Amino acid sequence: MADFPLIFERSRKGRIGCMPPQCDVPVSDMAELIGNGLVREPAELPEVGELEVVRHFTNLSHRNYGIDTGFYPLGSCTMKYNPRVNEAVASNPSFALTHPLQPVEAVQGNLQVIYDLQSWMAEITGFDTATMQPPAGASGELLCLLLIRAFHRSRGEGHRDIVLVPDSAHGTNPASAARAGYRVQSVKTNSRGGTDIDDLKQHLGPNVAAMMLTNPSTLGLFEDNIIEICQLIHNAGAQVFCDGANMNAMVGVTRPGDHGFDCMHLNLHKTFSTPHGGGGPGCGCIAVKSHLEPYLPVPVVANRDGQYILDDNRPESVGRVHSFYGNFMMNVRAWAYVRSYGKEGLPEIAKHAVLNANYAQARLKEEYPQAFDRTCMHECVLTAKPLKRYGVRALDVSKRLIDYGFHPPTNYFPLIVPEALMIEPTETETKEMIDAFCDAMLEIAEESKEDPSILHNAPHTTPVGRLDEAFAAKTLDVNWSSYEDLKKADVL
């Protein structure tokens, strides 16, 4: 299995997977039809049999590691299990076969899903209204900043051009602010892992437009002073955006809208169980207080006299942030998820996520101390610093975990924690599974003391071992070339 040829390398001249019937109409000349200049040589596609294709891709798929195969404690990413019932609902032809250009009268059910979900999202987060349009979390962040700017401009305060971001923030926050044309200033973290209030006061002034704050923070800690922080920012005439990436730690228990935030985004794929990754499609819906509502993107899904409509007549809107109405099928899955838990069930998500993370933290803290000695929320940020004296780094621990059959936790993030290991068990794992993971982590700490070379050379059990990441980053090449071509080009 270690030597796994590319599908191109399995190709043999003339081999085919199926035999199409003979053409029973006169064949036209391609050059005559479209002109000689547009006719190209046939693409060099692999020539393989059907069974070879099936085996090739089935074997490749066995090399995948996913939530369906094992524990995936990738902190900050919330790799929890998504119930299959969501997929069953989403594959219902009544949803799956609708087209975005159908008249609104013909898609009332779809619009009801969006309408229900935006009102539930507003209620769950403690805001006045929501839009499901942004197609990703970063898009939701950007949209909130655009709404905030429209709000400031409406009050003659368009000169506010600074956005404050904590030094523990995820990189998307400063990136979104820069993309929206704001200058970014960094606010320090205090000794408890929260926002340093004195440093915040130093930064607040007449040019600050907003602060972007993740709560619970990227350190997995609840911002104790959140009410005071929101008041200070409002007193300076600025707005507060809540990065809702970690809402799964609070859903059904406490609401950012009640803490004083003006707007927030949610990643449906984290808290509300829609599929992760693959580059989308996603949904980074946002919820806002009423003073930001006039600026929401068009169209807004509304209910007029029992009919669902798409309202485009909103003169103060910042415009569209996605074609049609975002990625609708994500809404169907989230709708199914919220309905299956209900108001009574949703708080259990947050409570179990927090309990599981604290259990892992308590079991590991002798060998892997907490970055901040506190009860954590849905994830714990530990440090592998004590293993440094044996020449072992967080990366080595992560790689060694692969040999034990676990996906590694997030490492080296947040940036302010040296040798960070960020573990998010999520609410969908059993105690037995978390125990097995913690046992492996503790065993790896012992290995570090006895024979660190085991860690330095890990992983040992995978088709390829420790990759040269620097070489890969510098010489990125994702196009296939035959060995002959590479030899000719003198690359090999």
Residues across the chain: 492
**Pairing state of beta strands 183-187 and 162-166?**
parallel
Piece of the chain touching other proteins by CB under 8 A; list 176-184, 235-243, 354-362, 410-418 = 410-418
Q: Which is nearer to other proteins, 178 or 415 (CB)?
A: 415
Counting contacts by CB under 8 A, is residue 17 touching other proteins? Answer: no
Q: Which is nearer to other proteins, 304 or 474 (CB)?
A: 474
Nearest approach in angstroms of CB 171 to other proteins is: 9
Window 55 to 84, contacts with other proteins (CB under 8 A): none
Nearest approach in angstroms of CB 412 to other proteins is: 5
Task: Yes or no: say if 213 and 238 are a contact pair by the CB < 8 Å rule.
Answer: no
Q: Which is nearer to other proteins, 196 or 427 (CB)?
A: 196
Nearest approach in angstroms of CB 185 to other proteins is: 13
Window 125 to 164, contacts with other proteins (CB under 8 A): none
For the record, the structure tokens of 193 come out as 């892992």
Window 462 to 491, contacts with other proteins (CB under 8 A): 469-470, 473-474
Residues near 425 by beta carbon (within 8 Å), at least 6 away in sequence = 71, 73, 353, 356, 357, 359, 360, 433, 434, 437
Q: Which is nearer to other proteins, 187 or 229 (CB)?
A: 187
Q: Which is nearer to other proteins, 339 or 385 (CB)?
A: 385
Helix, strand and coil content of the chain, in percent to the nearest 5, comes to 40, 10, 45
**Three-class secondary structure assignment of 297-317:** CCCEEEEECCEEEEECCCCCC
Nearest approach in angstroms of CB 339 to other proteins is: 41
Q: Which is nearer to other proteins, 103 or 471 (CB)?
A: 471
The Cα 221–Cα 374 span in angstroms is 8
**H or E element that contains 187:** strand 183-187
Q: How many residues bind other proteins (CB under 8 A)?
A: 8
Piece of the chain touching other proteins by CB under 8 A; list 9-17, 200-208, 231-239, 411-419 = 411-419
Q: Which is nearer to other proteins, 186 or 375 (CB)?
A: 186
Give the contact letters, 349-388, x = binds to other proteins (CB under 8 A), - = no: ----------------------------------------
Q: Which is nearer to other proteins, 84 or 474 (CB)?
A: 474
For residues 226, 260, 245 and 197, what is the CA-based torsion angle, rounded to 10 degrees? -30
Nearest approach in angstroms of CB 385 to other proteins is: 11
> Which residue from 122, 300, 395, 417 is in contact with other proteins, where contact means CB under 8 A?
395
Q: Which is nearer to other proteins, 296 or 381 (CB)?
A: 381
Q: What are phi and psi of 265, to 5 degrees?
A: -120, 160
The Cα 169–Cα 243 span in angstroms is 9
> Which residue from 98, 104, 412, 433 is in contact with other proteins, where contact means CB under 8 A?
412
> Which residue from 17, 205, 345, 418 is in contact with other proteins, where contact means CB under 8 A?
418
The Cα 239–Cα 245 span in angstroms is 19
Question: Is the bond preceding residue 42 a cis peptide, omega within 30 degrees?
Answer: no
Name the β-bridge partners of 214: 243
Counting contacts by CB under 8 A, is residue 390 touching other proteins? Answer: no
Q: Which long-range contacts (CB under 8 A, 24 or more apart) does 413-418 make?
A: 413/75, 413/76, 413/218, 414/168, 414/218, 414/219, 414/381, 415/167, 415/168, 416/167, 416/168, 416/189, 417/219, 417/371, 417/381, 417/383, 418/383, 418/385
Nearest approach in angstroms of CB 244 to other proteins is: 24
The Cα 160–Cα 205 span in angstroms is 9
Counting contacts by CB under 8 A, is residue 389 touching other proteins? Answer: no
Q: Which is nearer to other proteins, 68 or 469 (CB)?
A: 469
Nearest approach in angstroms of CB 418 to other proteins is: 7
Collapsing DSSP to helix, strand or coil, 295 comes out as helix
Nearest approach in angstroms of CB 237 to other proteins is: 29
Q: Which is nearer to other proteins, 53 or 175 (CB)?
A: 175
Residue whose C-alpha is closest to residue 159's, from 182, 179, 187, 186: 182
The Cα 492–Cα 472 span in angstroms is 15
Nearest approach in angstroms of CB 393 to other proteins is: 8
Query: Which residues are near other proteins by CB under 8 A?
Result: 395, 412, 415, 418, 469-470, 473-474
